[in-house]
Structure formats: structure tokens, C-alpha cells
Structure 1
């Protein structure tokens, strides 16, 4: 076997530690190394001359001389044994340089040159996921699962699949890692519990998460998951456990904010509003100190989104051919505004498949424009897409997302932030439908403030920044509504939770979705979002006006929203107990 030159350890804190002894810095590219007695299929394919060339290339790469290492890796492509490894190395170099297109080309070339070896399948799966080739990565994961894979391979790939919200593929590998020796790892127990949550197996998830916390009380992510799961009759014990852990956790600790968020979640559910707000306030302050968020960049981003709408208006009258494949339905809106429960209701009533929260749109935007960056949109990215680029975007998006329809004529892509690319979507995918979800202003802000998002939505850790983000969203939705576009519909959260069947039926009719002959029987088995527990509960209006309990503390939000002209509540929002 050839392995990356790094040691992998599942720590008690639930993090895969990857540090190479003597590595030249935090961002050093991991290197391959041979492991005696474990070369497997590769030993038979590798020649002495090419092995020496490989070692030379690795030495140069390890010294940071990637410019000199690259041509050596390119020469290694001609050797059958080293070809997939050399392509993978070039993919990593291209990805590090921000060249997603080059990295994708090299990763797919590595896949084409691959041979049966579990360690190669592990490396391929990881790299393919990072470049957005999810379907190919899943094929590698399947082959890994069917092989004599090592413990570390199962754990690492299982975690990466979990990070990409692919619980059906992640869970078997994580279970395999447990069987091979990681049954007592709190990190593995947490990941297993998380993916069981995504799959709706809540009792099993609770059991695994409790074992995780028992093994490592500092594992904040497990506390957070348990605060969503309950049960309510054990809440006091969980609160006491969290307080004991916070008493020995320094504010500067990386996981301290999430522990405070978990405590808020538990106290909020137990109706201890005063203590709950104190916990949330502490969590907000600590998390805001950890992240970078600039409102100037946000203003530029929303301006670019508005220019995308203008482009869609200009080209609306032109004849446009439909991209091949099923019809995507984009359910968009600010996070924690009901997008998941609305998506699930649509899938229950209409012949449409749930594809989850896909990252394919932004990944393919970056592939086309060659602009490096994260899965989030930015102003430079949106402005770089002209009409010709958008035509290619439609083709590549459908090639990478269409398979998720599973034979259905329609599928839902529920990445909330796609509201920033509505104009781009309308041009790129001529058959696409878009459903914009709106929720009342203060409820939206409060639901964002009290949710732990991890990576992304960095505005949500400050009251004023959250209010201003909603104001930007509200103005953008006003522009979208003014378009009166036939492929765009709106749905109001408050109206939906009061009469889900009627409102969903109206939205489905506006979007042209075909009704199911029989109901699907409720939420789908996989809901890989922050709302996975809530979406499996009965839809009701009890969360309307939840912010009123913390009204005094939310005054900065209320004042900013009112000054901007936003309606704080919808006319039919008042519910008993929230007067």
C-alpha cells in the first residue's frame, strides 16, 4: 500500500488528527509513503525506476518545491502502477492552487486509471468529494466497503461522507470501523449517532450519542445533537452535565461556544427563559470572536444577486432549450425558516424526489469561472457568470445533480442560499422551478441566532448583523417578486404551518408538479439537515412568535427591522400564548 505520509488518530475530541512529523507547515500537502508488508496490488505494478522517480517527486513536494515536483508526477502517469497516484497528487496540487477544473480533470483521470485496492479507493473517494464529483466518490466508497479496508480508511471516509450529508454511505463504513476496533471511540460513536439521526432512527441515535458523551464529556457536537433529540424527561440531567463541563471549559476553547448553544437549547425547551438567554448570549459572543464576517462583502454579494435577476429579466424573452434530464425544483430562503418541512410536504404530496441540500451549483460555478473559494456564493463569483457561462452551468449542474432524482421527473435541491442565485438559475436551467420560502422578520432572526451552523452563516452570531442580513434578504425577495416570473413561486411559513396540505397543494400547482397517486406516507427516510428531528414531528403553529419570550433581549433586532420598514409579524401570525 502507498499511504499519505501522515498519521491518523481518532482523538477523544472527535477530530481526525493529521499531522506529519516534520511537515513544512500547517497547509503542507500530505505525502505518500510505502508501508512495509502492505503494498498489496500496487507492489506488482510498480517498477524500480518509477519508484525512485516517485520518491524524488515526494521529496520535492515535501520540501515545498511543488513546481519541480509537478513535472515528475506528470512523467509518472505513464506507469500503470503509479498513474492513479500521480493523478491524485496533481489533483491535490491543483486544488491547493485554486484550480478546481484542473483538480477535477486529474481526479477523474485517477479514477479511470484505478485498479482494485482499498487504499486507492480511500484516496480517490476523498479527492473526488473535494472536487464535487459525488457520484464517482460514492462508487469508490461502495468498492471500499466491499473490500478488506483498514480501520483508518473506513473511519476517515465515513467521516468525510458524513460531512457531505451522505448518511446512507457513511453509516456502513463507520459501523465497519467500529467492528474493526473503534467501538470505544467517542468520535465514532458521535458520527454514528449523527447519521442515524439523519436517517430517522432516533432511538438508536440517542443511544450512540449518550455513549459518545459518556466516553468524552467534552465532545460538544454530541451534546448539541442530544439537545435536539431529547427526551424531555432526562433534560435536567443533560443540563447538569453541560454545566459541569462548562465549569471546566475555558472561554477560549474551540468548542466552548457550542457547549453554551447546547445549554441554551436545553434551557429554552425547559421554559427557563432567563437562564437560556444568558447561555445563548455567551455562546453568541464566543462564536462571533472565532469567525470573520464582513458586511461590506455581503452588500456586494446581494448587489450581484440583484444583477443576476436583471440578467434573467433581459433574456426572458429569448428562446431557450431545456437542459437534459429531470426538472430541478429549488427550495430557497434564509435558513431555519421552514424550508425542510415544506420540502418534505411537497415530496409527500407530489411526484418529486428529495435530493437534499446540494452544493453542486456553487461547485460548478467555480469550475466554470476558475474562481477558487468555498461552497458559499460571493460577489466575484456571481458577477463572473455571463449568459454563455450560465448555459454551461446548466449543463454541468444537471450532469452532477440530475442523477439524484432516482428516476423521478422532478427533484428538489434544498440548499437555502440558492436564493442568491435565482436569476442565474433561471437562465442556466430553463426548466427549473424555484420556490421562495419566507418567514416573519423577528422569528427568522431569532431562529437564526439560536441555531449553531458551524461553517457558514457567520452573520448569525450577532444580533445587529443578523437583522441586517434579513433586511438584505427581504429587499432581494421584493425584487424577485416584482419579476412575476412564471417559474418562481412564494410560500409563507406562517400560512403553511396552519394549513400545510392546502398551502403545499397551491405551491405545487403553481410550480407545475404532478400529484402522487398515493401519499408517500410522511417524511422521507433521509433528512440530512439541521431540521432532521423537527421535520419528523407533526406540523403545527407552535413556533410562530417564539421570539416574544425573549422580546426584551431582541430589541436591537426589532429596532433595526422596524427602521428598515420590515413588517415584524405577518397579519395572521398571532397565536394563543404569544400576545
Structure 2
């Protein structure tokens, strides 16, 4: 068989999806035509199509060794490395590829994918835009840019990208899955649920589609529906770590007794320092606590958080520098910008440490007919980052620019709304900028016993790197000390503008504290504010289950049986900032 006919046979099999045949022909070609780079490239494509990305990468490297100018092999190798979670290495390859082929839309798409994996959503969106400029009809590039824009808080633009992808292909399951979350964040909950349901209808075995549907149901308060979806996922993928973790949180002890052996089998095959291993340890910790097995509970939490700390190490020095910079930028002696009050509804920022009661407080306030709860908005933090990280003056012009861009990204609010709630907890870092830009904004600061907060955090699986300090008890104490110092600073800079609400007071006197909240906001108190369990609105945070119950104080003092486990945290708290805690 000639070289041309062998190449033609491999290409034909590839176009027909017959990957075993492709691999067989490619290996035969490599023996007969040892210097031809196309055959190891074919072999790599065949292996990658079967999910064998590590083996595939070896063949792509062989092809490049035979011909260093072989752009297809370099692109294919980059894609394999991205799938192997080696995006940093892939970026190096892709930069070299695009130097030689700057008009390669696939190369720009892959660069965007690698940048997104490296935590650079803005650069990823730019790369996806470049890919689309070269070829406008690319649903995958639209999906990539939409995901990046959603991470940047540009929910409306993200939705537009996903909608364009769906115009090109109405049955694009990835676009349907992707569009569901930003629709929910824009308070378009019925559309969000419809998109997730359609994705599952089109692809019943698509795990991400079922996961998104399950989470949308959970956020909407349909725990039984969510549980059914997670069970279906386990039926399709018995060791699915996220489904196991979510079921463990939803299940009572009896159901978790049946789930435990499934979780233990899955843990045996999960890489030790991986997010899947962390999820499974969190699930097993929940089961151990239900069973009253404190040592196992502590052990699983230590392993879960240890895995995540390995994946997302905490930078304590950088953290300290950031807080000092915030203090310096906004201080009592500095001339503050006198920004005019923006028109439209006034923001209420409910903030504090995560797990301090921000979701409960948002639910109380959101029960008022003149208030619209918007959950945790990433937008302010994203928009303010360039000013705060690069020492750019936050002057009158910058203030006006921030407000305009922030308000552009608000969802359509119902008639009669006077206030909207942003309950991103870590907005406490941004109080200086927020009160400069929105001088009439209301700030509600949730306070809670730090030991109860620490226990709650230690049991929680947060997404992303922003809360990496929660995976190390000493790092957690470090951040808590910075937080307490910064809040004292804000009180001195903005006296009387920040309402401190003690979580313990709120859960023991919800009537009185909800009235106090209404008074601070400037609202006439309504009875529903004292009954968050009546709320039917979706909840897009880890607290979705808790706030649908009548207010209770069962979690107050819950740290006490686990004092030994929390010792590295408790001993790290500054007694000047947390008086009485070590002796409490």
C-alpha cells in the first residue's frame, strides 16, 4: 500500500469515527514511513478521542519531533495537555503556535480555554473574541467566552453569547447548561429551569446537564426533585463525587447509611489530592457527624481540607498586603470623593465572614415588597479590582465609571423596588469604595462567634480560589484577624453607617432584629420579615437548605464539642481583636 493510500485510509476512518481502525492504520504507517509526522499525529487523535490523553500526548510530541513546524500536531498536543490539566504548559505551546499561525481560530479558542483554566477569565474572553473574529460561526468559542464573561460578572453579555450559540444550534446542550446559571442570577428563574430541563431532555446521559438541573431545583427549594437528579447521576456514574457530596448534605442519617459504602468505594479510586477526594471526604464527614462519630468526622474534614489546601494554597503575605492597602486607600484622614447619589434603587450590602448569617439576613430583608434580593453579585469586586490592585485613583470619574458599569449589569428589577440586596460576604473588604460610590447605600454587617463560623467553614466546600484560606485552620485565623481589624477601621472611617447584627441575637429574637434591620434600611416592617421559611425565592448559596427552615438557634455554640479539632484556629486568633474567645 502506497503512502498516499495509507494516509487516505487513516483520514477516512477518522472522518467516520472509527478510532480503533485509525490507530491500527497509524501504527502500521509509523513502521513503514518512520519519518512521516502524520501517522503519530493520527495515532494521537485516535487515542485522545478514546479519552487516553496522556498516551495521545506522547504521539503528538513524536510528530513534532519529526516536524517542528507541524501546527496541527502542536495544536493537538496543547488540547491534550489542557485535558490533562496542564494548561500552563499548553499556553507555552499555543503562544508559539499563534506566532506562526496568528489567524488560526482553533488555536485562539484553545488559548482561551487554557487561560480560563489558569484563572484568567478576562484574557480568556479576549482570546475567544479573537477566535470569533476569525470564524464567527463557532458555538464552542461563544460558549467559552460566555463562561468567561459570567465569571467576570458580565451576566447579560454571557447570556447573549449563549443565546447566539443556540441560534447557531438550538440543540446545543453545552449552551443550554451554561445559560442556566446566569439566567438564575439575573432573576430569570423560570427560564433557567427551562434551559436545564431542555438540556437533560436532549441528552439524558449528559452529567453536567443533570448536575445543573439538580442544582437549579435545589436553589428553587425542590429538594426531592434535586435528590432524584443526583440519584440518577449516580446510576449513570456510580462514583460521581459531586452527586455523592450533594446527596450526603440532603439525606437523613438512614439514607446516608446506604450511601456510605458507595462513597467509600469511590474514594478508593479518587486521586488522593484531588477535588473529587475532597468532595468524598466532606460527604463522609457529614455521615460521621450524623452517626455521632466525632473522631471520624474530624479526620475526614482534615483530609478534605488538606486536599483543597494542596490544590489552592493560601498566600498569607499577599493577603496581609491587600488589607493594608485597603486601609491606606480609605482612611479617616484622607480626602474622600464626594460622589453624587446615583438614581434608581439603593443597594443594601449584607456582608461579613462567609457562614455568618448573610443568607438568612438577605431572606429576611427580601421578604419586604420594596426589596429585591440578588444573591452574591461578583460584579462590584470584578469592577473594583483594577483600582484596588493597581493603585489607580478612585476619583470622581472612576466612581462614576464604576457606578455606570455596575448598574448596567443589574437585572431588570420589578416595579416598586426601592432597594436591592447584594449579599456577597467578602464585600466587607470593599466598604470604602462602595460607600464612596454609593454614599446612601445601606451596610449590614453580620457578626457571629468566630468559632462557630470556623466550624461551619471547615465543613463547607467552597468553589474557586477566593476562599482558599478556609482550607487551613491557621490561615483561617490569619484572615479572621485581618477581617476584624478592617471592620474596626471601616467603623472609624464611616461612623454610624454600618449596622452590626449579631447572628446569635438574630436567631433568638428574629422579630426584634428584623424590626431593627427595617429601621436601619428605612423600611416599614412587615410580618413576613420575621418568617424567612415562608420565602419561595431561589437561594444560590450553600445555605439554600437552612433558610427554608424556621429560624432556630441550634447552631449557636456548635463548636464546643470540636474544640480540640479547632485548636489551631482558636489559638491563632488575636485576643485584642477577639476579646474573650480563648477563654470562652
TM-score (structure 2 length as normaliser): 0.74
Corresponding residue for 1:327? Answer: 346
**Pairing partner for 2:376 from 337, 357, 378:** 357
The reply on whether 1:450 has 2:459 as its aligned counterpart is: yes
The reply on whether 1:545 has 2:553 as its aligned counterpart is: no
Change (3 A) 1:459 1:128: closer
Change (3 A) 1:395 1:104: farther
Corresponding residue for 1:424? Answer: 433
* Cα deviation, residue 518, structure 1: 7.0
* Cα deviation, residue 461, structure 1: 1.2
Tell me whether 346-355 or 87-96 shows the greater mean CA deviation.
Answer: 87-96
The Cα offsets for residues 167-203 of structure 1, whole Å up to 9 and x where unpaired, read as: 65543333222222x2123443222211211111111
Corresponding residue for 1:341? Answer: 360
The Cα offsets for residues 470-500 of structure 1, whole Å up to 9 and x where unpaired, read as: 1111111222233353432111111111112
**Pairing partner for 1:283 from 297, 304, 309:** 304
The reply on whether 1:530 has 2:542 as its aligned counterpart is: yes
CA distance in 1, matches of 2:129, 2:145: 7
Tell me whether 396-405 or 293-302 shows the greater mean CA deviation.
Answer: 396-405
Corresponding residue for 1:478? Answer: 488
The reply on whether 1:469 has 2:500 as its aligned counterpart is: no
Aligned pairs (5 A) from 1:479-494? 479-494=489-504
**Pairing partner for 1:400 from 402, 409, 414:** 409
Corresponding residue for 2:201? Answer: 179
Unaligned runs of 5+ in 1: 1-5, 12-18, 31-60, 74-81, 370-378, 575-579
Change (3 A) 1:349 1:127: closer
The number of aligned residues is 504
- Select the structure with the greater relative contact order (CA < 8 A; seq sep ≥ 6): 1
CA distance in 1, matches of 2:128, 2:81: 16
CA distance in 2, matches of 1:102, 1:225: 30
CA distance in 2, matches of 1:468, 1:568: 17
Corresponding residue for 1:206? Answer: 227
Change (3 A) 1:119 1:224: closer
Change (3 A) 1:238 1:290: same
The Cα offsets for residues 495-516 of structure 1, whole Å up to 9 and x where unpaired, read as: 1111122112202212324545
CA distance in 2, matches of 1:404, 1:88: 35
Corresponding residue for 2:508? Answer: 498
Q: Which has the higher helix share?
A: 2
Change (3 A) 1:508 1:306: farther
* Secondary structure, counterpart of 1:553 in structure 2: coil
Cα RMSD, aligned residues only: 4.3
TM-score (structure 1 length as normaliser): 0.74
Change (3 A) 1:28 1:170: farther
The reply on whether 1:218 has 2:270 as its aligned counterpart is: no
The Cα offsets for residues 430-488 of structure 1, whole Å up to 9 and x where unpaired, read as: 23221111111211222111211131311111111111211111111222233353432
CA distance in 2, matches of 1:169, 1:515: 32
8 Å Cα contact 1:28-1:64 kept in structure 2: no
* Cα deviation, residue 239, structure 1: 2.2
* Cα deviation, residue 421, structure 1: 0.6
Change (3 A) 1:145 1:260: same
Corresponding residue for 2:284? Answer: 263
CA distance in 1, matches of 2:126, 2:420: 25
The Cα offsets for residues 384-413 of structure 1, whole Å up to 9 and x where unpaired, read as: 342242332122212223645676121001
* Secondary structure, counterpart of 1:289 in structure 2: helix
8 Å Cα contact 1:329-1:410 kept in structure 2: yes
CA distance in 2, matches of 1:395, 1:486: 27
CA distance in 1, matches of 2:184, 2:370: 28
CA distance in 2, matches of 1:356, 1:446: 23
* Secondary structure, counterpart of 2:381 in structure 1: helix
Unaligned runs of 5+ in 2: 1-44, 52-59, 61-71, 83-92
Change (3 A) 1:103 1:193: closer
CA distance in 1, matches of 2:545, 2:498: 29
Corresponding residue for 2:13? Answer: none
Larger Rg: 2
CA distance in 2, matches of 1:325, 1:391: 14
Change (3 A) 1:564 1:243: farther
8 Å Cα contact 1:351-1:515 kept in structure 2: no
* Cα deviation, residue 357, structure 1: 0.6
CA distance in 2, matches of 1:223, 1:541: 28
The Cα offsets for residues 529-577 of structure 1, whole Å up to 9 and x where unpaired, read as: 0111111111110001111111122222222226455135599xx9xxx
Change (3 A) 1:349 1:137: same
Corresponding residue for 2:33? Answer: none
Change (3 A) 1:10 1:315: farther
* Cα deviation, residue 277, structure 1: 1.0
* Secondary structure, counterpart of 2:209 in structure 1: helix
CA distance in 2, matches of 1:430, 1:565: 28
* Secondary structure, counterpart of 1:23 in structure 2: helix
CA distance in 2, matches of 1:297, 1:489: 29
Change (3 A) 1:176 1:146: farther
